Amino acid sequence: MAIGVKVMKRPEKQVSYVRATLKGMVLTFKHMLEKKVTMQYPEQKSTDREHGLGTYSLSPRWRGTHRMLTDEQGRSKCVACGLCEFACPTDCITIVPGELEGAGIERYPEEFDIDMSRCMFCGLCEEACPEEAIVMSREVELTTYERSGLTFQKEQLLVPEKLLERRLQFLRSEYDRESAPARREEA
Amino acid sequence: MTPELKGFLLLSVIKMVIVFTIIMVGVALLTLMERKVSAWMQNRHGPNRVGWAGLLQPAADGVKNILKEETFPAQANRWLFTVAPALSFIPALLLSAVIPFAAPLPVDFDFTLGPLGRFVHHGPMPMVVADLPVGFLFVIAISSLGVYGIALAGWSSNSKYALLGGLRASAQMISYEVAMGMSLIPVLLLSGSVSFSTIVAQQQAGLWYVMPLFLSFFIFTIAGFAETNRLPFDLPEAESELITGYHTEYSAMKFSFFFIAEYANVVTVCAMVTTLFFGGWDIPFTDWDRSGGLLPTLATWLVFFLKVLFWVFVVMWIRWTLPRFRYDQLMALGWKVLMPIALAYIMVMCVAIYVVERVLGITSPVLASLALFALNVGLGILVFGLLDSGVFIRGSGYRQQERLKERGARTARAAVAG
């Protein structure tokens, strides 16, 4: 027998429709008394802190809108290397680099725009990023009243690292990164 | 026109309005109940956004259906296509006219209303729109008319799916009509009357007919499911094979009318089960419900309502439990199982009623019912035992085993020959 073929054990004797019907009715009635599993969406969200990691959690594989991580000082971890801009198949990332004096790093993004109306959520930017600066979150609500609202600026994207810990761990295992990139020396 | 006739007409109109309103509102709420029950059985919440706990959902659906575009398929027979929903809808509502829904209410009035003249009514008013002496035959006759609407809808749409649905509906309803009618003959034998009021009165005197006539109840319920095209017999609709069958081409309110008709039919069948086998509006273990007056009438009304609601729930319960029958299984069940059982049951009950009433001379209705009940327990064990014995119906694994055995024998023969 081939591997993985499930052989059903079908009843040979038993039978009347009556008995099977009653059995089924007992089963469905039991289900009536059980807890409901539906998430009540606008009230409960999979991104909520209390639900997000519990009953209705999205998988860590889920690619929502981007977030840019910040370090302990609240500064963006991005070094404006432009790899994500280069990797992006839809050209939705625009980086304007600026120079920093005496911060241990020389470049930082003066502007970092993501045009979400073009983004296809492929996650290549996240894969390309050597600094774990750009990460996809669980956020899914993108509706706005104007198109301009879909262009996310750097300031809208900044979040502290600990909020996306789960996704980061997933990324490290998925892309065989051993750990977080080495901390920069502070000047 | 005599004042008595005018009083009678006035009361009839009032009863008509009340029954019509209750049926229409009830049917609307039943669509919500169906969705709620199905949701609960699948660990979901069901509609809960419109109004408190979704109670206004039927209203929202109604508004939506009225505002939607009405489509007519090209080549459809315009006239029949329009009339068909009404044809299935009217018989469904007509049936509710003859079912007594509460204890008779004594009404006395004698007044003059301007140019309309004098209105007079004295004595108990039966709580049924039309207390027909042939109520029972009326139901059997009208319930068969519902199939015209469905068959015509299927035919006039000029669509293969709709036509197949209509054909299935007519074949199914005609087949099950036979078993249904047969299963009700024992009820007539036992009650000696075709009037619903008498049948209810007989059950109050003795036991509810579900006890002395259990197999009738069983067959009637199954045939009732088939008559109303509910799962497990919803072959005329059959979403997976016929993309909802006869109403494939319907949209907007015309589509809604088929649904209203279906639920009205469900209510009627449940009311029939209640009236014929569960004592109608009778409150068990008391004679107070027949004492006359406003309070007993309201109480019996409530009891009748609860009984019907229970059976409606059972209908939904079964719908969300069982899958659909195959077409040949449906026909086999109707003609080869239910009809012979119903015929045999008529003969057995004829003899049994004769023996109990004439030979044994039991006159007390309760004792007679109990004697018949004892017989029914025996018959029930026999019938269900035979059905369950694995001789008439075998499990699907049996044929698989047979095939395997045959294949084994063939290989063995080949080995010997080779």
The complex's ipTM?
A: 0.71
- Phi, psi values for residue B404, rounded to 5°: -60, -40
Q: Which residue has the tokens 């050597």?
A: A130
Any A CB within 8 A of B384 CB: yes
* Beta-carbon separation of A12 and B317 below 8 A: no
Q: Is residue A104 part of a domain?
A: yes
Residues of chain B neighbouring A17 (CB-CB closer than 8 A): 333, 387, 393
Q: How much is the pLDDT for A51? A: 43
Q: How much is the pLDDT for B243? A: 77
Q: Which residue has the tokens 């969200």?
A: A45
Query: How much is the mean pLDDT over chain A?
Result: 78
Residues of chain B neighbouring A12 (CB-CB closer than 8 A): 394-395, 397-398, 401
Region of poorest pLDDT, from A67-76, A165-174, B387-396: B387-396
CATH code at A100? 3.30.70.3270
Q: Please choose, from the candidates B401, B106, B143, the residue with its C-alpha nearest in 3D space to the C-alpha of residue B269.
A: B143
Interface of A with B in 22-41 (CB under 8 A): 24-25, 27-29, 31-32, 34-38, 40
* Beta-carbon separation of A32 and B387 below 8 A: no
* Beta-carbon separation of A37 and B318 below 8 A: no
Q: Is residue A144 part of a domain?
A: yes
Mutate to test the interface with B, among A36, A39, A43, A44 (most CBs of B within 10 A): A36
Number of H-type helices and E-type strands within chain A: 6, 6
* Beta-carbon separation of A36 and B43 below 8 A: yes
3-state SS string over A155-178?
A: HHHEEEHHHHHHHHHHHHHHCCCC
Any A CB within 8 A of B329 CB: no
Q: Is residue A47 part of a domain?
A: no
Q: Please choose, from the candidates A131, A130, A117, the residue with its C-alpha nearest in 3D space to the C-alpha of residue A65.
A: A117
Q: How much is the pLDDT for B191? A: 83
* Beta-carbon separation of A10 and B45 below 8 A: no
Contact A170, A177 (CB under 8 A): no
Q: Report the C-alpha gap between A67 and A49 in whole angstroms.
A: 17
Q: Is residue A38 part of a domain?
A: no
Three-state DSSP at A110 gives strand
Q: Is residue A23 part of a domain?
A: no
Q: Is residue A29 part of a domain?
A: no
CA B165, distance to chain mean position in Å, is 20
Residue A40: pLDDT band (50, 70, 90) is: confident
Residue A16: pLDDT band (50, 70, 90) is: low
CA distance from start to end of chain B: 99
Any B CB within 8 A of A12 CB: yes
* Beta-carbon separation of B397 and A28 below 8 A: no
Chain B residue with the nearest C-alpha to that of A9: B397
**A16, A19, A37 ranked by CB distance to B43: nearest:** A37
Any A CB within 8 A of B313 CB: no
Query: How much is the mean pLDDT over chain B?
Result: 83
Q: Is residue A26 part of a domain?
A: no
Interface of A with B in 32-91 (CB under 8 A): 32, 34-38, 40
Interface of B with A in 62-101 (CB under 8 A): none
Which percentage of chain B shows pLDDT scores above 70?
98
Is the bond preceding B232 in cis, omega lying within 30 degrees of 0?
yes
**A12, A31, A40 ranked by CB distance to B42: nearest:** A31
How many other CB atoms sit within 10 Å of the CB of residue A187?
A: 9
Mutate to test the interface with B, among A12, A29, A35, A39 (most CBs of B within 10 A): A12
Mutate to test the interface with A, among B36, B40, B399 (most CBs of A within 10 A): B40
Contacts of A105 (CB under 8 A, 6+ apart): A79, A184
Question: Could you tell me the sign of the dihedral formed by the alpha carbons of B286, B289, B295, B298, in that order?
Answer: positive
State the nearest Cα–Cα gap between B117 and chain A, in angstroms.
Answer: 57
Residue A89: pLDDT band (50, 70, 90) is: very high
β-pairing verdict for A151-152 and A107-115: antiparallel
Any A CB within 8 A of B387 CB: yes
* Beta-carbon separation of B388 and A16 below 8 A: yes
Interface of B with A in 282-301 (CB under 8 A): none
Any B CB within 8 A of A6 CB: no
Q: How much is the pLDDT for B391? A: 67
Question: Looking at the whole model, is its pTM more than 0.80?
Answer: no
Cα dist. B70→B38, B165, B249, B253, B413 in Å?
Answer: 29, 21, 10, 8, 67
Q: How much is the pLDDT for B290? A: 73
Task: Please tell me the total count of domains within chain A.
Answer: 1
Per-residue pLDDT of chain B (418 residues; tens, 9 = 90+): 787 788 788 888 888 898 888 888 888 888 889 999 999 888 888 888 887 888 888 888 889 888 988 888 888 788 888 888 888 888 888 888 888 887 777 777 777 777 777 777 777 777 888 878 887 788 888 888 888 888 888 888 888 888 888 888 888 888 888 888 888 888 888 888 888 888 888 888 777 888 788 888 888 988 888 888 887 888 777 777 777 777 888 888 888 888 888 888 888 888 888 888 888 787 777 777 777 777 888 888 888 889 999 999 999 998 888 888 778 778 878 888 888 889 988 998 888 888 887 777 777 777 777 778 888 888 888 887 777 776 666 666 777 777 888 888 888 888 887 6
Any A CB within 8 A of B44 CB: yes
Interface of B with A in 165-194 (CB under 8 A): none
**A12, A16, A40 ranked by CB distance to B384: nearest:** A16
Q: Report the C-alpha gap between B133 and B131 in whole angstroms.
A: 6
Residue A140 sits in which domain range? 58-174
* Beta-carbon separation of A10 and B384 below 8 A: no
Which percentage of chain B shows pLDDT scores above 90?
2
Q: Please choose, from the candidates B127, B285, B299, the residue with its C-alpha nearest in 3D space to the C-alpha of residue B204.
A: B285
Query: With 80 as the cut, is the pLDDT of residue A53 above it?
Result: no
Residues of chain B neighbouring A28 (CB-CB closer than 8 A): 41, 317, 320-321
Q: Is residue A21 part of a domain?
A: no
Residue bearing the bigger pLDDT, A187 or A35 = A35
Q: What six digits make up the tokens of B381?
A: 């064990």
Q: Report the C-alpha gap between B93 and B72 in whole angstroms.
A: 26
Write out pLDDT tens, residues B196-245: 888 888 888 777 888 788 888 888 988 888 888 887 888 777 777 777 77
- Phi, psi values for residue B139, rounded to 5°: -65, -45
* Beta-carbon separation of B40 and A31 below 8 A: yes
Write out pLDDT tens, residues A92-146: 888 888 887 766 667 888 888 888 888 898 889 888 888 888 888 887 788 888 8
